Amino acid sequence: MNITAAKEILKTHVSKVTTLTEEQFDYIFSHFQYQQYKKGQTIITEGTPVNCEYFVLSGCLKSFFINDELKMFILQFAMPTWWTSDYNALYSRNKATVNVDCITDAEVLCLSNEDREKLCREIHHVEYFFRWRTNKGYVASQKRLLSFMNNNVRYRYEELMALYPELYNIVPKNLIAAYLGVSRETLSRLYTPEK
């Protein structure tokens, strides 16, 4: 993908939420850095500082946490036009507690914390955009929490597949299980009849 195509994707995404002049958008875009990653590559590593958030252009990322028993929990998948980072670390300027890596080859646009805050200060519409985006994330997170408390694995699996059918082909089942907070064995048994 060339830079022009990347710019177009971001522009389309942002335009759905707020309006910017050509010059404003050019200025904003100049703060983003285009990056390419290979499948399996790590973008954010637990224990290291976090400087950027990432806008996905192509491919699929995951943000995940590994507990003491080395069990993995997936906080979020990130498909094209999604944003991801370790937001806790990013805003509090702590070291990452979460990892981000690539499920497939991926292209992203990277925006530093300082540049985001600068752009938010300089351009009111950018501040609006990020408020909107964070709000969407918050509502989605609350919904997921509720579904976690309320529904069993099977229901949550079907809910996820209905919402993001593209995950079915791209993401291996053990990662789906780690997102649903269930063992891969249980996920595998969901549709086997009782004996």
Binding residues vs DNA (CB under 7 A): 69, 71, 152-154, 172-174, 181-189, 192, 195
60 binds, among DNA, its own copies, none (CB under 5 to 8 A by kind): none
Does residue number 17 form part of the binding site for its own copies (CB under 8 A)?
no
For Cα atoms 184, 190, 192, give the angle at the middle one, nearest 5 degrees: 115
Burial zone of 144 (CB within 10 Å; 0-12 exposed, 13-18 middle, 19+ buried): middle
Q: Which does 188 bind (CB under 5 to 8 A by kind): DNA, its own copies, none?
A: DNA
**118 touches its own copies (CB under 8 A):** no
Which residue, 105 or 127, is less far from its own copies as judged by CB?
127
162 binds, among DNA, its own copies, none (CB under 5 to 8 A by kind): none
- Give the list of residues 6+ apart from residue 166 with CB closer than 8 angstroms, or none: 79
Regarding 94 and contact with its own copies (CB under 8 A), the answer is no
Rule CB under 8 A: which of 150-169 touch its own copies? 150
Shortest distance, position 92 Cβ to its own copies, whole Å: 8
| Contact criterion met (CB below 8 Å) for 83 and 54 | yes
Q: Are 120 and 18 in contact (CB under 8 A)?
A: no
Strands lying side by side in the sheet with 61-66: 42-44, 99-102, 61-66, 72-78
| Contacting positions for its own copies (CB under 8 A) | 65, 67, 71, 73, 75, 87-88, 91, 120, 124, 127-128, 130-131, 134-135, 137-139, 141-146, 148-150, 181
